Amino acid sequence: MPILKSLGMADSKVPRAGTLPLRSSRNPFEEVSGLEEEEAAELGALPNGTSCRRRATLEKLAGLSPFRLGKTPGRQAGSPRDGQPRSFLGRVLLPGIRRSSADFGLLARLQGSRAQGDEEAAGEAARRLAFLRLGRGPKPLRASLAERVVPAGEAAPEPPPKVPEPPKVKEPLSVLEILSLIQQRELARADEHILELEAEELAASGGGAPGPPKAEGAGGGRRARDVALLYEALQREMWALVRETLAGPGLGAGSGAGAVAQLGQVLVQEEAADGRRGPEAARKLRARWAEAVARAARERLEAAAPGAPGGLAGQLEALRGRLLEDMGVVRGRLAPSYPAGLGAFGTYLRGYHGALAEWIGAAARRRLPLADRYALLHWHNQVYPREVLGLVDMVALENGELGPLLSPGTLRGLEDECVTDVKAQTRAALLRVLQEDGEHWGSTEDWSSNLAQDVCELLEEHTERAPRISQEFGERMAHCCLGGLAEFLQSFQQRVERFHENPGVRELPPDTYISRTISLVNCGPPLRALAERLARVGPPESEPAREAAASALDRVIRLCHRILTDLLFQELQPHFSKLMRRKWLNSSEALDGIVGTLGAKALALRRMQDEPYQALVAELHRRALVEYVRPLFRGRLRCGSARTRSRVAGRLREDAAQLERLFRRLESQASWLDAVVPRLAEVLRLEDTPSIQMEVGVLVRDYPDIRQKHVATLLDIRGLRHTAARQEILAVTRDLELCEVAALSPPRDRAFFADIPVPRPPVCLSLPLFLGRLTLSRLACLPWPRPPAPSPLRRPQARR
């Protein structure tokens, strides 16, 4: 009976006391042997050539059968648990034997049929035990041994001390059991047993360093191959777990926090084992784990990018969304499950960073259009650092900051390609815009020019995007666009000059011609502002291009202003011709015509933008006063008496006040012109020489372009000739002309008397003085006039 109990057959084969005996004349060993013979007939021989009958019978008796593997997680149905002793016969016959991987194929063929047989045998044994318990009845209560031995009323003796049981020896698992643990993702326990198996292989090989097994031909043992196969299976499950956990919570069997924690425990155990193995034999699972994370990240990014709409910009936006989503999973669910010493978050972040660098590097090597190149540079320099790395915990990185996604050389190449494409595209686009706009200049249809707006939009598209990528790239793009703008403005200047030189343009209606000229002038301010802005943003080398652009615009505006001014003063010329005459002293008709015409034409000029309009009105103000004063210096009036000089001076002051009111209404900023006519009137009105000298000095100071010939003409008008007072007044002008300040010519917009010609005074020689300086010999050389020859006398005709 003890032997049968040790074989696990007491309940099923031998009836207990008080129960009905079971009739069985068969020997239990013969029964087991008969079952094994039937199974051996079905199974045949094992892969190593031994008989399946003998192997199966012996292992069944020892309780070590590899064919009774159940479905409970982490253990096989027929194998004992860790630390549990096996059956008696198993301890006697097969003590501490670990089964190898020779039965992998056999397990696959027999596991299904043997599992069904085990279930039927278990059901039959359960029914038999239930029947025996019903026949035996309830178990009677019995007094304990102490109650039977110790009389009543006496104290019970103390129980004998318990003898400590010997520690249970942990039985090693077979290779198949370790493989089952791996498949059920009990990775930490499986790795512990693999390390034990590796230690046994090390002890069997004579204490050499463990490591990857050698080839079978080189003497690699069977246990070393088992270790290698188990490590391969372990790594497959680990890397599959890395992929599944990134896909999201609840995806894949065993992909929860517990499985991730076991994966981290395996990495810790293997890192400690690598310290014992040495650098040459280290398995470096932690580095391989980082590579697996990078592969999983690459798969995740490649799956997100292709289906995104919107070209490269849409793909980059999809990558950003996938990065933030996955890093949120890592931060909230995966990184806390790993051991703290592994730096899991930094490993995942570096894996995604490396995968993203590969993706963007491949995109940068392709021939991209300009818009995609802009999108790639902006995403690399702004979006990724701010919206991706700015939202993750960079402190979690062990080795400091991450490197750039693209190398500096690649970035420079992308920027160079952008600058080259922008230069070529903008040049062609600007010339096309100028050609289309110039076709409407000579037409009589109602049309408004959008040339400046189109040019600014073409260039600002690049000058606004480039600085958002980087400051250096913005400077390079500004310099490029400024050079293109300078070339365009030179072409624009040449086309404007050809337009005004064309004789057919003069045939346009005056209002249409003036409207076209004003439209050309209005292109100046926005284009000048754009050039100034690009020069401020660009490098110092942009200054020559800015000066070229400003010079071209100045020429265009001066040409258009001159044409508009000439057209206006052609209409005003009949009124100016009536000035400074006797009729002008008694009538304001001429000046009223000038003021009325200027006021009417100024309404059409008000469509011009403020900056060129102010310049044009200032030029009209200066030109009007020049044309007003010009007849005075031509000597049309002679003021020989004080009364005449007073009348002329009064008329000049009245006209000056009226013109001042006109140009103030026209918003002229040339207030320096308001005093010129009153100063001239004072020179004519004053009678004493010192006052005239002072007024002439003020006139020369305020208008440095006045010359002595202008003052002499004024003195001639008032009748001051060949006197000492005239010489004293002219001496003031000479002294001021010799001064260094007066010698500097004023700017063109401040010149007034330079545009007023003065007739050359007649040369008067003093004949006695002149003759006294000549000698008699020189007088003999002078050509003396000959007396006229006497005309022949006519003969009187005879009368007939």
* Structure confidence at residue 422 as a pLDDT band (50, 70, 90): very high
Contacts with 588 (C-beta within 8 Å, 6 or more apart), sequence order: 654, 655
Mean pLDDT of 45-65: 40
Contacts with 341 (C-beta within 8 Å, 6 or more apart), sequence order: 268
What is the pLDDT at residue 442?
83
Q: How far apart are CA 547 and CA 554, in angstroms?
A: 10
What is the pLDDT at residue 208?
54
pLDDT over 70, % of the chain: 68
**For the segment 621-640, what is each residue's pLDDT rounded down to a tens digit?**
999 999 999 999 887 788 88
First-last CA distance in the chain: 211
Q: How far apart are CA 17 and CA 276, in angstroms?
A: 59
Q: Looking at 163-167, 221-225, 739-743, which range is the least confident one?
A: 739-743
Contact 636, 581 (CB under 8 A): yes
Residue 201, phi-psi category: left (phi > 0), alpha (psi -120 to 50), beta (remainder): alpha
pLDDT of 605 over the 50 cut: yes
**Three-state secondary-structure class, residue 403:** coil
What is the pLDDT at residue 100?
53
Q: Looking at 45-49, 329-333, 459-463, which range is the least confident one?
A: 45-49
- 3 state SS for 311-345: HHHHHHHHHHHHHHHHHHHHHHHHHHHCCHHHCHH
Better pLDDT: 391 or 694:
694
Q: Which tokens hold the place of 722?
A: 């060949």
Domain boundaries for CATH 1.10.357 within the chain: 417-561
What is the pLDDT at residue 315?
92
- Number of CB atoms found within 10 A of residue 192's CB: 18
What is the pLDDT at residue 747?
63
pLDDT of 157 over the 50 cut: yes
For residue 607, give Cα distances in angstroms to 58, 67, 496, 512, 601. 113, 102, 19, 13, 11
Q: How far apart are CA 46 and CA 764, in angstroms?
A: 149
Most confidently modeled range among 162-171, 501-510, 655-664: 655-664
Better pLDDT: 271 or 722:
271
Architecture of domain 417-561: Orthogonal Bundle (1.10)
Better pLDDT: 4 or 703:
703
What is the pLDDT at residue 758?
83
What is the pLDDT at residue 768?
46
What is the pLDDT at residue 210?
55
Better pLDDT: 721 or 52:
721
Better pLDDT: 139 or 498:
498
What is the pLDDT at residue 166?
67
Backbone φ and ψ of 166, nearest 5°? -65, 145
Q: How far apart are CA 119 and CA 71, in angstroms?
A: 12
What is the pLDDT at residue 385?
87
Q: Which residue, among 52, 48, 22, 49, has the nearest Cα to 40 in the 3D structure?
A: 52
pLDDT of 113 over the 60 cut: no
What is the pLDDT at residue 407?
92
Q: DSSP string covering 52-99, please?
A: HHHHHHHHHHHT--TT----STTS-TTSPPTT----HHHHHHSTTPPP
What is the pLDDT at residue 232?
94
Backbone φ and ψ of 172, nearest 5°? -70, 145
Contacts with 154 (C-beta within 8 Å, 6 or more apart), sequence order: none
pLDDT of 238 over the 90 cut: yes
Give strand pairing partners of 51.
Answer: 45
Contact 334, 245 (CB under 8 A): yes
Contact 126, 79 (CB under 8 A): no
For residue 280, give Cα distances in angstroms to 150, 275, 679. 72, 11, 105
Q: How far apart are CA 427 and CA 482, in angstroms?
A: 11
**For the segment 367-386, what is each residue's pLDDT rounded down to a tens digit?**
899 999 999 999 999 999 88
Contact 736, 742 (CB under 8 A): yes
Contact 674, 656 (CB under 8 A): yes
Give strand pairing partners of 45.
Answer: 51
Q: How far apart are CA 22 and CA 771, in angstroms?
A: 183
Average pLDDT, the chain: 76
Better pLDDT: 220 or 598:
598
Better pLDDT: 779 or 344:
344
pLDDT of 677 over the 90 cut: yes
pLDDT of 51 over the 80 cut: no
CA 302 to chain centre: 22
Q: Which residue, among 522, 449, 531, has the nearest Cα to 488 in the 3D structure?
A: 531
Mean pLDDT of 254-279: 86
Mean pLDDT of 508-536: 92
What is the pLDDT at residue 207?
57
Backbone φ and ψ of 51, nearest 5°? -75, 135
